[in-house]
Structure 1
């Protein structure tokens, strides 16, 4: 049986800073509430098609999109927002086009929190890591978050 097994250490690391632009209203919105229970904010359901840019400059280009649902999973009256997010971060940039990171996590505060990377596809197969995020800009129709992705992955050879 010697020679039928091959063990190759192929863990790679991804570190990238992106800017998530969320538009809650207006003609270019990329987040929409699809269900709001009457009398409470607990249980709100929204769907996202967020854009992740390489900078906040007017010449910035879209690197990826975050597609998936989010739920208001905290009871009314709490000081912090308690959104729970699940989404695929789908890369459009030619370097990783079509590859995804599977992301989930709670937004504990609006300004700073983390999401967890629980998997991936394409180049990012078997990804694990975190996404640190913080608000860097607020507008009338949305906000911009600085996103720092740190993940390890093992692409199929």
Structure 2
């Protein structure tokens, strides 16, 4: 019995004293912050719910009766592929598109959307790059702001905000032209 206990202690001490070599970690290097750039952009988003070729279509709707003449009733989800242009006219140069979803999230008279949108650029200095927007958009407010939570390409790890101003709104069919003034910080 004593011999068994003595043998067990020898095994335990041998295991504890054995050196362990592991490649799981590496030596640390000092943190050097990446220099950040600030970029300002200005463009227009054209959101069209009407006509033969809408850029926003309903993909889900709440199981309730919508109010009459309400193009965006509470609980309605839209898929979008909206053009981004240099100017407010649809004939302006197209610089990219906004693709994603928005949800009508307000039950009162003040239309509010929650947006999950990728603003992709197809021309110019930022061609192939995009900004990721995940934000609440209180449409009826004159001064509103959307959060930029990321991006890709030249906007990888971007963060910032978009000041949104309604340039045109048709309250009957929901068609809108929005001016986006973007400020982002990125590596």
User: Into which bin does the TM-score normalised by the smaller protein fall?
Assistant: 0.7 to 0.9
3-state DSSP class of the match of 2:179? strand
Provide the TM-score with structure 1 as the length reference.
0.85
Q: 1:23 aligns with which of 19, 41, 48?
A: 48
Alignment of 1:44-55 (within 5 A): 44-55=76-87
Give the unaligned 5+ runs of structure 1: none
- The more displaced of 98-107 and 6-15 is 6-15
Residue 39 in structure 1 maps to residue 59 in structure 2: no
Structure 1 residue 111 displacement after superposition:
5.0
Distance in 2 (alpha carbons) for counterparts of 1:133 and 1:32: 21
Show the counterpart of 2:15. Answer: none
Structure with greater proportional strand content: 1
> Who wins on radius of gyration, i.e. which is larger?
2
3-state DSSP class of the match of 2:127? coil
Change in Cα spacing, 1:144 to 1:6, as seen in structure 2 (3 Å) is: same
Q: 2:102 aligns with which of 58, 70, 76?
A: 70
Q: RMSD of the alignment, in Å?
A: 2.0
Residue 103 in structure 1 maps to residue 115 in structure 2: no
Show the counterpart of 1:124. Answer: 155
Structure with greater proportional helix content: 2
Structure 1 residue 58 displacement after superposition:
6.3
Change in Cα spacing, 1:58 to 1:135, as seen in structure 2 (3 Å) is: closer
In the comparison of the two structures, how many residue pairs are matched? Answer: 149
Q: Deviations over 1:32-88 (max 9, x none)?
A: 11222222433111111111101124652111211001112222xx12112101111
Structure 1 residue 152 displacement after superposition:
0.5
Mapped contact 1:52–1:63 kept (Cα < 8 A): yes
Provide the TM-score with structure 2 as the length reference.
0.72
Change in Cα spacing, 1:34 to 1:9, as seen in structure 2 (3 Å) is: closer
Distance in 2 (alpha carbons) for counterparts of 1:111 and 1:65: 24
Residue 134 in structure 1 maps to residue 165 in structure 2: yes
Show the counterpart of 1:145. Answer: 178
